[in-house]
Amino acid sequence: MERPAWAPRSIDISVPSVSRIYDFYLGGSHNFEVDREAARKVMEFLPGLPKTMQANRAFMRRAVRYAAAEGITQFLDIGSGIPTFGNVHEVAQSASPGARVVYVDHDPVAVAHSEAVLGGNSDAAVVAADLRKPEEILASPQVLDLIDLNRPVALLLVAILHFVEDADDPYRAVAELREALAPGSMLILTHASYEGLPLPSERAGGAVDVYQDIRNPLIMRSRDEIARFFEGYDMVEPGLVPMPLWRPESSPEDEDPYAFSGFAGVGRTA
C-alpha cells in the first residue's frame, strides 16, 4: 500500500480510523482504502450516513456563529477530526476577527493535516491529546498560549462523545472541562442516537457492529443520557433537538430523513 506524503510515518495505514472514515463521508481526500472499505460497510446498514454528517457540520457552523454573536471569542474543539470545508476557525474568525481556536484530536492524520491548514494562522493551533484526559488538554502549551480560561470559552464536543465508552466515564471528562471554564462558557455538542433514525434500531445495529469490529465502538445513547452531558449548563433555546431543528437557517422539511439522526444542543454556564 502506497503511503501518501501527508500520512505521518508513525501511523499504521492498514487500520481504519474514525476521523478518516468521517473525512470519507464528507467527501474528503485524507483517507485510505481501509477507511473507505469500513465506511462502505457501515453504509450498507445506514445508507444516508453522509447526510447525517453534513447536518452535523451545518449545526456546528450555526452554533459557532451563535457563540460569536453572543460575544465568545475563544473556541476549544475537542475531537476536531480532519479539517474540511467550513472549519471552526474559518467560521469563528470570519464572524469575529481575532477569535482564537484550539483544535484537539488524538488521530495523527487529523493533527498533521490541521497543522498544515493552520500554517500562518497565529490565532489557531492544534493539540495531539485525548478527550478522556482533560487535564492534558488544559495543560497543553497551545491552550495555555491561546485560551484565557478566565474568560468564556465555547467548548465543542461535536460527534465525539459517542466514541467514548461508559467505562471511560465521558461524564467525568465533560464535567472536568466545565469546571475549568469561566462562567458564561458554552458547550456545543452533538451525539449519535437510535432515536430519530429513519430505520429500525436492529438494522442500525449492524453499523454499530462495524465500528466495534474496527475497535472504535460507537455508543448510541438515548436523549436523556445525552442531556446529562449538559449538567451545570442552562440550555439555549430550542434545547436538545435533532440537528436540523437547532436554529435552522433553511426549512427543516427540506432535509434528508437521515439528518435527524442523533441530537444537538448548546448550553451556557451562568
Structure pTM?
A: 0.95
Among 89, 143, 74, smallest CA distance to 119 is for 89
In this prediction, residue 132 carries a pLDDT of 97
- Look up the CATH superfamily of 48-198+224-268: Vaccinia Virus protein VP39 (3.40.50.150)
In this prediction, residue 1 carries a pLDDT of 65
How many other CB atoms are found less than 10 A from the CB of residue 2?
Answer: 6
Set of cell numbers at residue 149: 480560561
Query: What residue spans define the domains of the chain?
Result: 48-198+224-268
In this prediction, residue 203 carries a pLDDT of 92
Q: Please, are residues 149 and 76 in contact by the beta-carbon 8 Å criterion?
A: no
The tens-digit pLDDT sequence of the chain (270 residues) is 677 777 788 788 889 999 999 999 999 999 999 999 999 999 999 999 999 999 999 999 999 999 999 999 999 999 999 988 789 999 999 999 999 999 999 999 899 999 999 999 999 999 999 999 999 999 999 999 999 999 999 999 999 999 999 999 999 999 999 999 999 999 999 999 999 999 999 999 999 999 999 999 999 999 999 999 999 999 999 999 999 999 999 999 999 999 999 999 999 999
CA distance 44 to 49: 10
In this prediction, residue 5 carries a pLDDT of 76
